[in-house]
Every structure is written in C-alpha cells, then in structure tokens.
A and B are shown apart, each in its own frame.
Chain A
Amino acid sequence: MSEPLLQVRGLTKRYGARLGCADVSFDLDPGEVLAIVGESGSGKSTLLSLVATELAPDAGTVSYRMRDGVLRDLAGLSEAERRALMRTDWGFVRQDAAQGLRMTVSAGGNVGERLMGVGERHYGRIRGQALDWLGRVEIAADRIDDPPTRFSGGMRQRLQIARNLVTGPRLVLMDEPTSGLDVSVQARLLDLIRRLSAELGLAVIIVTHDLAVARLLSHRIIVMRAGRVIETGLTDRVLDDPEHAYTQLLVSSVLAA
C-alpha cells in the first residue's frame, strides 16, 4: 500500500443550527478517483469546500502529503503557502465554468495564468504550453484567442480542466463537472477526464449526484445523506451490492436506459 495523498479526519461543519456535514473521514491514495454521491443538500459540496480549504471546519482536519513527502495539516499552512499549493499542486473544476474561468480573457490567457502565477515570463513558452493543453482537451488551436464566452458548455468545462492541469497538479477536485451538459457532451467529457486522470496519475475527488458518472470514473464511492457518510466502498461493490437501505433506494431509483 502506498501512503495516502490526502487524509481527512472528522470533518464537521455547521451552518448555525443546521448541519453541513458531520464527522467525515477518509483517505485518498495518489492516482485514486473518489466519488462523493448523494442527493441535493446531503453535504457533498460542503465537504468539497472544506477539503479545498475554502470553508473553515468546526472540527476535524485535512492533511496533504506535500511534494517533499511530509503529510501536513492544511490548517497549519500560512496563507501564502496555502494559495501556492492550490494553484500549483491542486486543481478545482467548478460546476459553473464562469466561476472557474476568467470569462473575459482568451482561452490561451486562461490556461497561461497559472504559469504566469508561478513566474513564467516568456510569452512564446506560455503560448506553446497553452496550445499543447488545448490540444489535449480537444479544443482546436484556432480557438486559442477566443474568450470562453464564445465557447459551448462542454468546451468551457474542458478549458477549465486544461487551465487546472497546466501546472501538473497531483490532486483535482471536481464539483458536478458534467451537470447541465447534454448526454453526448457529458460522455465525451467523462472520457476525457478518465483518460487524463489515468495518463497523469491524478488523484481526483469528484462530487456528483449522477451514479453513472461515479460508476464510469471512480474507484471508490462515498455515499452521503443529511451531512453524514452512510456507506463507503469500492464503486462496483457499492453500486452492485449496496448495503445501506438509502444506498439501495438511490441505486434503484436510477432509470435504466
């Protein structure tokens, strides 16, 4: 067994009297794809925001194995360290592309921003890398100077992925990346995510309410309900042989195509 890349222990978040999520713990190995599933309001997105350190937990810790091999509590990082980590070693693909992209800046500028953020000051090299990454997410090279406002929904999500992966992160968080896309576009995006995560050995935490997405992409699943983890296990096992009554309900409520 390899050492875990990410270690989550006892994460709890309350919004006043209401519960965001309670006592969530899990490990994530390098290269592992973990799906967090559950219905709307089950605490999936709260959990993801806590992991991404965008929300402060009421209790619990998120620890990450830094490039030097040391597991560090993210709450103990300075703001500068935390932000540097987020824009180099982590990625975050948002449900709404407008939140994850600069909509008024060209595709090339969007992909190049992280490179400029880590000190790249050579226009030719930045553009070369942007072209390379647009190609890898199947966006035509002649769209490099178009802003994402002129892109379709599927292209915007692929551009978000390119923008996040350009610095070679080891962990990517995805919040419902396929929702709102039509089925064929979804399929293409899922193929792309699966291929890139396998090629690059990316660890991925993907939040979704779509069990088909979870089955296609993930190695392991966490099922949440009302802020609590009610079942966790290998994807095939959870989906084919659910133990908890709620999971059984969730699985049986999916329409067979």
Chain B
Amino acid sequence: MSATAMIEPSRSEAGYNFAYLDEGTKRMIRRAILKAIAVPGYQVPFASREMPMPYGWGTGGVQVTAAVLGRADVLKVIDQGADDTTNAVSIRRFFARTSGVATTTRTTEATIIQTRHRIPETPLREGQVLVYQVPIPEPLRFLEPRETETRQLHALREYGAMHVKLYEDISRHGHIATTYAYPVEVAGRYVMDPSPTPKFDNPKMDDCPALQLFGAGRERRIYAVPPYTSVRSLDFEDHPFRVQQFDQPCALCGAEGVYLDEMLLDDAGRRMFVCSDTDHCEGRRADGHVGTGDAV
C-alpha cells in the first residue's frame, strides 16, 4: 500500500493516464471483453491502439491488462514461463511506471497475470485473471486465408477443416505433432486458438477457476474463456489428445509433471532440463526441494 502511494502515476510519469491508455479506450476494450466473456471462444473485434512497443511484443495483452487493471491489483508478467526475461521485465516495468500498481513474481500473490506462452504450474484460483498475448487468433487461418470465409465457418460451426490439420500431422509424423497453438473447442461451441501456449497447458484451461482473456493487438481481436468453462482439445477417436511427457524431473528443484525448458550450458553440447515456470521452481527450492543438478 505504501509502495503504491509513493509512486502515484500522475506524478511519477506526468502526462500519462493510469495504465497508459485513456479512459475512453479502456471502456471500449472493456466492452469487447464483456462480449467475449458472454460468448466464450468467440473473437470479438476491437479498435486496437498503437502501443509504445512493437507488434509481436504483446500489444494485445498489454491493452487487455490496461483495461482491467485497478489500483488494488497485483500484477505478474511472464514470458515463456519466466518472470525475468526481457519481455516480461519491460511490460512489468511499463505498468509499474504508468499505473503504480504493485508487481510480483509470485503466482499466488498476483491478481492479474499477463503471459506469453505459459500457464503457471501453480493452479490458478477464483478472482485471478490470466491475460494471454496472442499473435494469430484465428485457428482456421492455416487452411483458409479469407477472413470473410473464416467468420462464416465459425458462424456455421463448420470445423471439418480443423481436423484436416490434425490429419496431416498424423499422416506425416504418425501422431499429432502439433505441440503449441493446439486448437480447442470452448464451451462446446467455438473452436479457439489457445495462443502459442504449449499443448501441455491445454488441460489447465479446462474448467479453470480463473478468468482467461486473450488479446491480439495486430489482428485486433479479443476472446475469452470465463471461469469454469469446458475447454476440449480436438483429436481423433483413434488418436486421442495427449500432452508431452518429460523423461526426467527438473534438474534444479526435482519437480515432475511440469513443463521443462532445455538450457544449453556450454559450447560442448551440455544441456540441462529445468522448470519453465521460474516462480514455481524458486518456490520449490525455497521449500527445500532439490534436483540432481545434473547436465545431460
């Protein structure tokens, strides 16, 4: 509280409104968000603004976060699961400076988590909002370049083409080789691109207690998965959806059943597999869990 009061935004960054965007823009984005929540998985067009960062760096996610951020919120930003990478650090600092809200790296403390690629390993709870940065919101784009046509396909629920993509995977690789942006059906109706999250995280979207919001800045679309909504990964009867498995636990904290990153250690090819979720890993190590520390 005292920290928040010390960096009052109007004083620390003169000329900027709270959380950078003006109130009219925020209302416009909130209306899009409300519509997205009302129609789960449906891509709502919105008048995406120019943000002080390049497209592809999370302009959609930043606008959604700016629109839902309140003074009492605690913000966490992750990039590929990590709190300490460039993108995560810059966005976190951007909101600290333009809004003065408290920031954190702890999943449990955060009320809003903006993410690129990962859903935290720590289960989310009611009241939390997960904001995804989305590059290509249209799951049918792979097969259908025309926007007019993809809208028709969504409206008429013609999703046969989506399975063509999965068919191609199996015919080429013997199994469904799509490992990220794996298409899902939301609330039994709309097929949605879960953004470039690894399919490992798809099951976490299903029946999640937190609100999930998706913002695509360049493509000007917002979509949402309300709390406790069914999210089903598409598959074939004889090739059911499966998440990837890792052979060994995290080398630092010994966690199993989590998503691991491959870290290169030197130019001799030594590698180490560690938690992609840095907060989860640090939390476990603070609790006394240790991994083997072995390179492979």
Contact = CB atoms under 8 A, between A and B. Distances in A.
A116 interface: yes
B164 A112 contact: yes
B143 A102 contact: yes
* Most chain A CB atoms below 10 A, which of B161, B168, B170: B168
B160 interface: yes
Given A83-B156, A83-B158, A117-B158, A124 B168 contact: no
Interface in B149-166: 152, 156, 158, 160-161, 163-164
B238 interface: yes
Contacts of B236: 121-123
A123 B168 contact: no
B237 A105 contact: no
B153 to A, nearest CB: 9
For the complex of A and B, list the 9 residue pairs with the smallest distance between their C-beta atoms, beginning with the closest: A117-B160, A116-B163, A116-B160, A123-B236, A122-B237, A80-B156, A109-B164, A109-B167, A145-B171
Contacts of B239: 123
Contact of A106 (B156, B158, B161, B171): B171
Contact of B164 (A102, A122, A127, A145): A102
Given A122-B236, A122-B238, A123-B236, A105 B160 contact: no
Nearest to B239: A123
A113 interface: yes
Interface in B256-284: none
A55 B31 CA distance: 37
A124 B160 CA distance: 16
Interface string A85-125: 00000000000000000100110110011101110011110
A126 interface: yes
A199 interface: no
B164 A116 contact: yes
B172 interface: yes
Interface string A129-148: 00000000000000011000
Nearest to B153: A83
B160 A109 contact: no
A86 to B, nearest CB: 11
A123 B167 contact: yes
Contacts of A108: 167, 171
A154 B152 CA distance: 32
A104 to B, nearest CB: 8
Interface of A: 79-80, 83, 102, 105-106, 108-109, 112-114, 116-118, 121-124, 126-127, 144-145
Contacts of B172: 106, 145
Interface of B: 143, 152, 156, 158, 160-161, 163-164, 167-168, 170-172, 235-239
Contacts of B161: 113, 116-117
Main secondary structure of the interface of B (DSSP, over half): helix
A123 B158 contact: no
Main secondary structure of the interface of A (DSSP, over half): helix
B171 A113 contact: no
Nearest to A112: B167
Contacts of B171: 106, 108-109, 127, 144-145
A121 B239 CA distance: 9
* Most chain A CB atoms below 10 A, which of B152, B171, B236: B171
Contacts of B164: 102, 105, 109, 112-113, 116
23 contacts: A79-B156, A80-B156, A83-B158, A102-B143, A105-B164, A108-B167, A109-B168, A112-B164, A113-B160, A113-B161, A113-B164, A116-B161, A117-B158, A117-B161, A118-B160, A121-B163, A121-B236, A122-B237, A123-B170, A124-B238, A126-B167, A127-B171, A145-B171
A109 B143 CA distance: 12
Given A83-B156, A113-B160, A117-B160, A105 B143 contact: yes
B248 to A, nearest CB: 31
Contacts of A109: 164, 167-168, 171
A124 B171 CA distance: 10
Contacts of B158: 83, 117
Contacts of B238: 122-124
* Most chain A CB atoms below 10 A, which of B167, B168, B172: B167
A10 B191 CA distance: 42
B146 to A, nearest CB: 13
B99 to A, nearest CB: 45
Contacts of B152: 79
Contact of A116 (B156, B167, B170, B235): B167
Nearest to A125: B238
Nearest to A79: B156
A162 to B, nearest CB: 15
Nearest to B237: A122
Contacts of B168: 105-106, 109
